[in-house]
């Protein structure tokens, strides 16, 4: 039992307000991160300038206009100064983030004065039995710290999904800092893992030993979880995080290579690789693999609908990976009993992974062949023709044409007109 004195209604209001305020900060990250390639420069852009401003008139906004949700409603979705419309996605992100904070806290923290730890959505047959920390923190303190730990992951996933949907990229500035925090936090607190880094079904291991040696191993000390996990909890927590980082990123990297080999085109961006490496650093490798399968299952219906609706927009995979991770985290208590047998294969697990890799390659190859039979254009990365000087001039002229008058702008440097071969024409057309 966990003594818990704060009323649930108070925590719901507090988490919603806290999430809405952080949601306002996330909109700034979504707006300022993409133009910067470096991690340091991207984070530096958050404080330069430190205040918010209108994208249209560049006027500094007062603090009362930045109140989450309420500020947008008070201004009726328009800038106070230039009256330009403010996108409605900003209050929606703030609202969604506030509700997300409430959902995560309600699912992870057992509610009630004397609630049981088994009521948490993270409880499983192999989860840490004692929530108390090695550093001496109490059980309820560790549970709340674990919520903060997972909210860092969820906030990073939200920012990455919004940027990926708009820009088709996932900047390293969104994924690398949380990844470092995940590894440090796992090694420091030692009790944030969901599943041990390695489990083995004893009966399966005995069957393998009997098959290769011909001798029956007595029913002895073979256990599903290695003993060193309980003897060195902090080292084990660090191993869970590092293994999740490597296997989570490696799984997406392998899918990327298999997809390119079968479809002859880029099947997945490198940003997705780093994204799932970050997820693995927080959750471990088994939940990360589950999240990838859920993301693939969720993406297939939407992709089919877009094809039937003749919607030509390319859909990024990052938001589906984020949704799959959130479903895995909040539904872990119910998901793990259904997948435990697959992750308990131990020494047979590499064979299963190889089987799935070959099956994925064959499936994608069949998809490519069937598309060719039905006359769909090939997806091969044939590259682009050489970009000539004429293409460059046409590109710049298209950027500077005055669509209102159908003439070239005359307020620019004269050398630009000369470079386009338009200087004599403009002098002839110019009124005397």
pLDDT value at position 325? 97
- Residues 101 and 183 occupy one common structural domain: no
Q: Where is mean pLDDT largest: 91-100, 126-135, 337-346, 349-358?
A: 91-100
- Helix, strand, or coil (residue 85): strand
User: Within a domain: residue 33?
Assistant: yes
pLDDT band at 288 (very low <50, low <70, confident <90, very high): very high
Between 374 and 73, residue with greater pLDDT: 73
Distances in Å between the Cα of 413 and the Cα atoms of 106, 407, 410, 416, 420 are 61, 15, 8, 6, 12
Distances in Å between the Cα of 92 and the Cα atoms of 80, 153, 345 are 20, 20, 44
Mean pLDDT along residues 389-399: 61
User: Within a domain: residue 403?
Assistant: no
User: Residues 217, 206: contact at Cβ < 8 Å?
Assistant: yes
- Residues 197 and 100 occupy one common structural domain: no
User: Within a domain: residue 408?
Assistant: no
- Residues 220 and 361 occupy one common structural domain: yes
- Residues 278 and 340 occupy one common structural domain: yes
User: Within a domain: residue 111?
Assistant: yes
CA distance 20 to 11: 14
Q: Where is mean pLDDT largest: 148-157, 349-358, 392-401?
A: 148-157
- Residues 51 and 170 occupy one common structural domain: no
- Residues 198 and 339 occupy one common structural domain: yes
Mean pLDDT along residues 147-157: 96
Q: How much of the chain, in percent, has pLDDT values that exceed 90?
A: 36
- Residues 288 and 226 occupy one common structural domain: yes
User: Within a domain: residue 50?
Assistant: yes
User: Within a domain: residue 346?
Assistant: yes
- Residues 194 and 285 occupy one common structural domain: yes
Across all residues in the chain, what is the average pLDDT?
Answer: 81
- Residues 108 and 151 occupy one common structural domain: no
Residue 221 has pLDDT above 70, yes or no: no
SS (H, E, C) 306-371: HHHCCCCCCCCCHHHHHHHHHHHHHCHHHHHHHHHHHHCCHHHHHHHHHHHHHHHHHHHHHHHHHH
Say how many domains are in the chain: 2
CA distance 225 to 344: 10
Mean pLDDT along residues 59-84: 86
pLDDT value at position 124? 87
Domain around 202: 147-381
* Each residue's pLDDT tens digit, 170-216: 999 999 999 999 999 998 888 899 999 988 777 766 666 666 666 65
* Each residue's pLDDT tens digit, 26-60: 999 998 998 888 899 999 988 887 778 787 787 88
* Each residue's pLDDT tens digit, 238-278: 999 999 999 999 999 999 899 888 877 777 888 999 999 99
**Continuous segment of H or E residues that includes residue 204:** helix 202-213
CA distance 429 to 239: 74
- Residues 243 and 376 occupy one common structural domain: yes
pLDDT band at 314 (very low <50, low <70, confident <90, very high): confident
pLDDT value at position 222? 47
- Residues 154 and 113 occupy one common structural domain: no
- Residues 52 and 186 occupy one common structural domain: no
Residue 70 has pLDDT above 60, yes or no: yes
pLDDT value at position 344? 83
Non-local (6+) Cβ contacts of 306 within 8 A are 313, 315
pLDDT value at position 413? 56
Confidence (pTM): 0.80
- Helix, strand, or coil (residue 302): helix
Q: Which of 381, 397, 415 is the last residue of a domain?
A: 381
């Amino acid at each position: 039992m966990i003594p818990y004195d704060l009323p649930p209604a108070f925590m719901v209001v507090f988490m919603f307000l806290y999430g809405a305020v952080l949601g306002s900060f996330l909109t700034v990250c979504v707006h300022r991160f993409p133009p910067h390639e470096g991690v340091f420069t991207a984070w530096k852009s958050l404080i330069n300038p430190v205040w918010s401003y209108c994208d249209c008139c560049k006027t500094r906004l007062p603090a009362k206009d930045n109140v989450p949700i309420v500020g947008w409603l008070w201004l009726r979705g328009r800038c106070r100064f230039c009256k330009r419309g403010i996108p409605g996605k900003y209050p929606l992100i703030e609202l969604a983030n506030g509700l997300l904070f409430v959902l995560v806290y309600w699912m992870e923290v057992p509610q009630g004065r004397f609630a049981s730890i088994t009521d948490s959505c993270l409880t499983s047959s192999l989860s840490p039995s004692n929530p108390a920390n090695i550093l001496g923190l109490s059980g309820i303190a560790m549970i709340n710290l674990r919520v903060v730990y997972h909210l860092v992951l969820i906030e990073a996933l939200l920012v990455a999904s919004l940027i990926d949907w708009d820009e088709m990229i996932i900047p390293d500035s969104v994924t690398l800092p949380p990844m470092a925090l995940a590894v440090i936090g796992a090694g420091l607190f030692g009790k944030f893992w969901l599943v041990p880094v390695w489990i083995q079904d004893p009966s399966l291991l005995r069957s393998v030993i009997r098959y290769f040696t011909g001798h029956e191993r007595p029913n002895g000390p073979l256990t599903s979880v290695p003993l060193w996990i309980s003897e060195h909890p902090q080292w084990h927590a660090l191993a869970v995080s590092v293994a999740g980082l490597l296997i989570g990123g490696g799984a997406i990297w392998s899918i990327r290579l298999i997809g390119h080999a079968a479809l002859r085109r880029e099947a997945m961006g490198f940003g997705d690789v780093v994204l799932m490496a970050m997820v693995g650093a927080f959750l471990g490798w088994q939940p990360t693999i589950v999240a990838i399968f859920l993301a693939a299952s969720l993406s297939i219906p939407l992709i089919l609908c877009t094809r039937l609706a003749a919607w030509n927009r390319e859909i990024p995979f990052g938001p589906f990976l984020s949704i799959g991770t959130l479903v895995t985290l909040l539904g872990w208590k119910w998901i793990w009993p259904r997948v435990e047998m697959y992750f308990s294969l131990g020494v047979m697990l590499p064979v299963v992974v190889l089987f799935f890799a070959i099956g994925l390659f064959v499936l994608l190859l069949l998809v490519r062949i069937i598309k060719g039979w039905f006359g769909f254009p090939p997806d091969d990365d044939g590259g682009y023709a050489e970009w000539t000087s004429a293409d460059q001039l046409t590109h710049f002229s298209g950027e500077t044409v005055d669509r209102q008058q159908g003439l070239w702008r005359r307020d620019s440097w004269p050398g630009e007109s000369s470079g386009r071969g338009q200087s004599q024409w403009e002098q002839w057309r110019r009124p005397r």
